[in-house]
Structure 1
């Protein structure tokens, strides 16, 4: 009996040792991720805590968290076995922000001044329901089958698609949502937000107020090797700065998103690892540094907050969009943009139409061309805060496709040769979700598209 007891004690100690070594260092990130996810999903999209736990937080380690919501305080708190409690607060206009013990929740704060569209034009250019449009070249039965095939049957979690919207020749031709989601559901785009950040620079360039080819305006870099890094290098993820982005571990990206007060400062403080324009390296820190650079272009913080919306988002009627801020009040341009699937498709349509929105040139066509020009060191896979299919990642999709892409399989695909925008929002990404197959099926529903692809 004593021998069995000793074995059990050793086993328990072994488990505890493994927990301490392997899991304990991650607890801050686990509880931080969970609190932020609960606060955003509950207060932005009005989902219940149970729905978020079962539908968003049901991933390894994250499901260890215990979560609570304080409706009066508009906050969410999470911990793991009572350890490492973290809190995220919601503020109207700024979204949910993960805070630390030093954050003053009573300090006054600014919010963006919005000028949301009241256009009664049919979607996508206005807020009214889209007009029924029949295209002779579209096989609607095949299209419906293609879209439907991306959704799970009841009680399964294989594909985990939440929304699909397809625009063709500026018209809505397909739209579908999973149970619990509708055309009014705001969905986190994750890294698709990077493309929103890029568009803000595009407007400044159009206004003649910024030159992306000059050294980045960062005073801390002026006396070292980083002084030659241009904003263009940053937009193309080609700066040569150190950065690790691996969401399955403790890395630069996870520490930034779930621990940092000023997310833009994290990449700013990194050392150079390569010369600029010699090594492509995907970095969410770079995009938040770009957000910080944008802040420096305005006299006041209010002007910075307003610009993102007045320059692009509200211009094209993305009324549902909300870009969340970090603890110092800067937009988390790398990851925290929320919008309905319809509004995400509007953003794709702006780029499909070469920066023109229903007659108004919001971005120069030259900016669109710059956006989708392959970065020299990306093997045709990346442009300027947009992903590209120029390298043939999706073999059955036209090479001119470029797209916004986000964690867990968010996509706004823009296909100029087919006059198409395809939006898919979900919780599984390539290769677990077959994007090539999905896009191929949608494309093939348009007759003559095969010749266009070839």
Structure 2
């Protein structure tokens, strides 16, 4: 009996130690699950069952148990009943994790939105296009290539746009052309474009030094907005999603996500130390906010001057508790609207006759960042060194977690959108599409 009690005591001690050292991880797991559940149910209009089966079904997130209260517009997630996190939905702002009870009843400013144009054909409106058949497209090969990235590859949507016309489009079960899908880090490319618009309107110059008061007494004062856009500031940042890191703490524990990168020291050389950082993208969101006299102007600007301006009316940019757009991660839109974003770049900022940003901005975002080995521009990813050997080197793309992509191929007059739950063989897929269209 004494031996049994000693073994039981030892097991209890082991459990206590395990919980103690893993408790912070439970906070992140529950936070991810609650936030993703709330956004999926209330922004994307999916069911809890569908969300748990498809979006939250991977380790360790599947350790969480999710609950939705539609009347309160909230989702809670609990891990082994040891820790529970709550996310609430706010109309116009998406979902956000709460940190205190006061967050649940606080009032929030919301952006003003334009009415969608459902009369003009796509892409300049949302009405269906007239049937257009291109003699230089092998539609059988194109459709076969598109179909190849569904099924086990877990694509949710693919839209191929050639000469402003949708020439191939496919959706997984449960998804349609009206389904909002999270772009994850493609939001960074949206944010970068906002800076392009602001520079076009003479609200700022990206060559200006970053307006951060806390940096003015040390070498960080020499960091420019350009350096931040290229993620080449030299600032410390740990972008690791497999552990408690800067990025996981920022996304699931911080009230103001713009401040975390601001507080980091300079470790590398400015303009010679490329380091992928979601903290930098959110810092830039905070810098954008400083360009406006009021918070309402900041909220409205992203939609009025870019998103709604090009008819991406389905898009929802989610904010943190401090009211900043989470520029690193949280933009939802339909695949067709993500396609409009690609077309804006294909046309070098010209949208149906109106110049949204300077023509050279598209070249700027596709210019390789020093020390990035040709893979990164200004919040866009590149093929400048031919990493995808069968794809043109001037192809560039918005890139998001789990395989979200908007590819822009300037010479081929082509935009390709792929939304997914896993990565694919990009070179093989893009090669197949390119071989379907004779130039």
Contact 1:117 / 1:315 at 8 angstroms: preserved in 2?
Answer: no
CA distance in 2, matches of 1:391, 1:397: 11
CA distance in 1, matches of 2:126, 2:240: 39
Do the aligned partners of residues 17 and 104 (structure 1) sit closer, same or farther apart at CA in structure 2, a change above 3 Å counting? Answer: closer
Q: Which residue of 2 aligns with 1:446?
A: 437
Q: Which residue of 2 aligns with 1:194?
A: 188
Instruction: Decide which of 426, 429, 435 is 1:435's aligned counterpart.
Output: 426
1:104 maps onto 2:95 in alignment: no
Contact 1:188 / 1:338 at 8 angstroms: preserved in 2?
Answer: yes
Q: Any idea what the Cα deviations from partners look like across 1:129-171, whole Å, max 9, x if unmatched?
A: 122111111000000100011110xxxxx31110000000111
Q: Any idea what the Cα deviations from partners look like across 1:201-251, whole Å, max 9, x if unmatched?
A: 111100112011111011111111110000000000000000010111111
Q: Which residue of 1 aligns with 2:52?
A: 53
1:418 maps onto 2:408 in alignment: no
Judge which range, 325-334 or 20-29, deviates more: 20-29
Q: Any idea what the Cα deviations from partners look like across 1:370-408, whole Å, max 9, x if unmatched?
A: 111111111111110111110222111111100000011
Map 1:53-202 to 2 at 5 A: 53-101=52-100, 103-118=102-117, 120-152=119-151, 158-202=152-196
Q: Which residue of 2 aligns with 1:451?
A: none
Q: Any idea what the Cα deviations from partners look like across 1:72-94, whole Å, max 9, x if unmatched?
A: 11110111011221111101100
Q: Please state how far the C-alpha of 1:46 moved relative to its aligned partner.
A: 1.0
Do the aligned partners of residues 10 and 428 (structure 1) sit closer, same or farther apart at CA in structure 2, a change above 3 Å counting? Answer: farther
CA distance in 1, matches of 2:66, 2:377: 39
Q: Which residue of 2 aligns with 1:298?
A: 292
CA distance in 1, matches of 2:283, 2:81: 34
Q: Which residue of 2 aligns with 1:452?
A: none
1:351 maps onto 2:345 in alignment: yes
Do the aligned partners of residues 12 and 395 (structure 1) sit closer, same or farther apart at CA in structure 2, a change above 3 Å counting? Answer: farther
Q: Please state how far the C-alpha of 1:11 moved relative to its aligned partner.
A: 8.8
CA distance in 2, matches of 1:119, 1:45: 20
Q: Please state how far the C-alpha of 1:358 moved relative to its aligned partner.
A: 1.3
Secondary structure class of the residue paired with 1:79: strand
Contact 1:212 / 1:230 at 8 angstroms: preserved in 2?
Answer: yes
Do the aligned partners of residues 358 and 8 (structure 1) sit closer, same or farther apart at CA in structure 2, a change above 3 Å counting? Answer: farther
Q: Please state how far the C-alpha of 1:19 moved relative to its aligned partner.
A: 3.8
CA distance in 2, matches of 1:358, 1:117: 16
Q: Please state how far the C-alpha of 1:103 moved relative to its aligned partner.
A: 4.0
Secondary structure class of the residue paired with 2:418: strand
CA distance in 1, matches of 2:184, 2:276: 14
Q: Please state how far the C-alpha of 1:177 moved relative to its aligned partner.
A: 0.3
Q: Which residue of 2 aligns with 1:224?
A: 218
Secondary structure class of the residue paired with 2:43: helix
Q: Please state how far the C-alpha of 1:71 moved relative to its aligned partner.
A: 1.2
Map 1:346-425 to 2 at 5 A: 346-425=340-419
1:41 maps onto 2:40 in alignment: yes
Q: Please state how far the C-alpha of 1:255 moved relative to its aligned partner.
A: 0.5
CA distance in 2, matches of 1:323, 1:182: 20
Q: Which residue of 1 aligns with 2:333?
A: 339
Q: Any idea what the Cα deviations from partners look like across 1:182-214, whole Å, max 9, x if unmatched?
A: 000000000000000011111110011201111
Instruction: Decide which of 309, 312, 320 is 2:306's aligned counterpart.
Output: 312
Secondary structure class of the residue paired with 2:85: strand
Q: Which residue of 2 aligns with 1:321?
A: 315
CA distance in 2, matches of 1:168, 1:349: 10
TM-score, structure 1 as length reference: 0.93
Do the aligned partners of residues 299 and 143 (structure 1) sit closer, same or farther apart at CA in structure 2, a change above 3 Å counting? Answer: same
CA distance in 2, matches of 1:182, 1:436: 26
Q: Any idea what the Cα deviations from partners look like across 1:317-358, whole Å, max 9, x if unmatched?
A: 001000000000110011000000000000000001111111
Contact 1:202 / 1:367 at 8 angstroms: preserved in 2?
Answer: yes
Contact 1:44 / 1:186 at 8 angstroms: preserved in 2?
Answer: yes
Q: How many residues align?
A: 439
CA distance in 2, matches of 1:12, 1:52: 35
Q: Please state how far the C-alpha of 1:24 moved relative to its aligned partner.
A: 2.6
CA RMSD of aligned residues (A): 1.7
Do the aligned partners of residues 20 and 105 (structure 1) sit closer, same or farther apart at CA in structure 2, a change above 3 Å counting? Answer: closer
Instruction: Decide which of 210, 231, 241 is 2:235's aligned counterpart.
Output: 241
Contact 1:103 / 1:327 at 8 angstroms: preserved in 2?
Answer: no
Contact 1:408 / 1:427 at 8 angstroms: preserved in 2?
Answer: yes
